[in-house]
Amino acid sequence: MKLVWDFSVSCDNQIGWEWNWTVGCLDCDVPAGTFNVVPDCIHREYSLEVNVTSTGDAATVDLILPGDTLTGLGLGSKHSDRSRWTPR
C-alpha cells in the first residue's frame, strides 16, 4: 500500500486527518500439484494425471472436475480422468 500526496491540501490550514493502517498477511499455505497429459492416440482419448504435491496447511484437498468432485485427496494422491478429443 502506498500513500500519494498531490499537494492539493495544505498543512497551513490546520486541518488534519488521522490515518489508521492495518496490514495483514494470509496465514495459510495453499495446496499445490502437477499434472501430465497422457495421450492414447489409438483410442483418440487422453488422460490427465494429477499429482497432489502439497495439501498446504489442510489435511486433504478436493479436486473438482466438470461433473465430478473428488474429495479427501492427500499428499501424493494421483487421479486420472479420461476425456474424449478429436484431432484437427
Q: How confident is the model at residue 83 (pLDDT cuts 50, 70, 90)?
A: very low
Cα Rg, the chain, nearest whole Å: 25
In the chain, domain spans: 28-84
Give DSSP secondary structure letters for 3-69.
----S-S-GGG------------------EEEEEEEEEGGGTEEEEEEEEEE-TTSS-EEEEETTEE
pLDDT digits (tens, 9 = 90+) for 7-57: 666 666 666 667 777 777 777 888 888 888 888 889 887 777 888 888 888
Q: How confident is the model at residue 86 (pLDDT cuts 50, 70, 90)?
A: very low
Q: Residue 80's pLDDT is what?
A: 56
CA distance 39 to 80: 12
Q: Residue 15's pLDDT is what?
A: 64
Q: Residue 51's pLDDT is what?
A: 86
22-10-17 Cα angle (round to 5): 30
